[in-house]
Amino acid sequence: MPELPEVEVTRRGFADRIVGARIESVRIGKPLRWALMVLPQALVGRRVREVRRRGKYLLIDLDRGLLLLHLGMSGSLRFDIHLPEPGVHDHFDLVTELGTLRLNDPRRFGAVVYVDDEEAPWALKLLGGLGMEPLGDAFDLDAFHAGLKKRRTAIKQVLLAGDVVVGVGNIYASEALFMAGIRPTLSAARISRPRAAKLHAAVREILARAVEKGGSTLRDFSNVDGQNGYFQLEATVYGRAGEPCRVCGTPIRQMKQGQRSTYYCPHCQKS
């Protein structure tokens, strides 16, 4: 589920509501991808300072230390003053005086990790290799093009890898490549400067638009208030195999790249 837009929509949904709150208790359900790395009891009494996002990670800064949250493939967060009894897929509750933040994740590919600071080994391991943030000023076109030139793999794979630019997952990679008119299998290193510029702009536009629409809800995703996103309704290629291209009418094709589905228009994305 959650690519950058969904994580950002999630962040915006509870950041202002939880900042300043004192942690009253922590409840752990089934194990997630990694152990919490700190005794939940040790978090009690700390206060939430800020909620940030880096790529697809949420960073919850406390007055001492921070929590790194990842939603994996099927995770979503809820936040409310009062939440019902936890269900089988509710694996983490951060109970604060201003409300409870709850992670629901059926497939349990998500993660909650505590670190003392961003230089801690686990923080470096998870965040250290991440590429540029696509929204905001740090997404530099020169650096983007330079990053592509180093990679001979298919451009779709490079977008997904997250070491050049972060946050672009399987839906938005296909969407951005369609917007830029680039064939997903094209070697990243072979992308010309003008086309890199188009892709750079497309990534920004697609992600920003998706944030505006509340993200994409295919199955599990909803925001912290349980509301769905609507970007999936304006997908141009993702999930539309066999349906006519919205621009030229040619049937959209589906293929596999690295065990993941890629969608593209063979006419609009000739190379």
Partner DNA sequence: AAAAGCCCCTGGATGC
Partner DNA sequence: TGCATCCAGGGGCTTT
Catalytic residues: 2-3, 56, 260
Specify the residue, 97 or 225, whose C-beta has the smaller distance to DNA: 225
Annotate each residue in 101-140 with x if it binds DNA (CB under 7 A) or - if it does not, as one string.
-----xxxx---------------xx--x-----------
By CB under 7 A, the residues from 147 to 186 that bind DNA are 150-154, 157, 160, 162, 169-171
What does the angle CA 78 – CA 82 – CA 85 come to, to the nearest 5 degrees?
Answer: 80
On the CB side of 224, how many CA atoms lie within 13 Å of its CA?
A: 20
Shortest separation between residue 194's beta carbon and DNA, angstroms:
22
Contact in structure between 6 and 12 (CB atoms under 8 Å): no
Query: Are 7 and 58 contacting, i.e. CB atoms less than 8 angstroms apart?
Result: yes
Phi, psi of 196 (to 5 degrees): -60, -40
To DNA, the closest distance from the beta carbon of 59 in angstroms equals: 13
Among 258, 266, 270, 271, binds DNA (CB under 7 A): 258
Task: Give, in degrees to the nearest 5, the angle at Cα 23 between 22 and 28.
Answer: 170
* In the complex, least distance from residue 50 CB atom to DNA, rounded to whole angstroms: 21
Structure tokens that stand for 45 in this block: 């009494």
DSSP bridge partners of 22: 47
| CB closer to DNA, 249 vs 258 | 258
- How many residues bind DNA (CB under 7 A)? The answer is 45
Question: Which DSSP helix (H) or strand (E) runs through 208?
Answer: helix 193-212
What is the smallest separation between the CB atom of 24 and DNA, expressed in angstroms? 29
Cβ at position 97, least distance to DNA in Å: 31
Distance CA 178, CA 253 (A): 12
Of these, 21, 37, 73, 143, which contacts DNA (CB under 7 A)?
73
Query: Would you say 39 or 241 has its CB closer to DNA?
Result: 241
Q: Tell me how many degrees the CA angle 197-229-56 measures, rounded to the nearest 5.
A: 55
* Nearest partner of 5 among 220, 169, 226, 184, judged by Cα: 169
Q: Which residues bind DNA (CB under 7 A)?
A: 1-3, 6, 30, 33, 55-56, 70, 72-74, 88-89, 106-109, 125-126, 129, 150-154, 157, 160, 162, 169-171, 215-221, 229, 232, 258-261
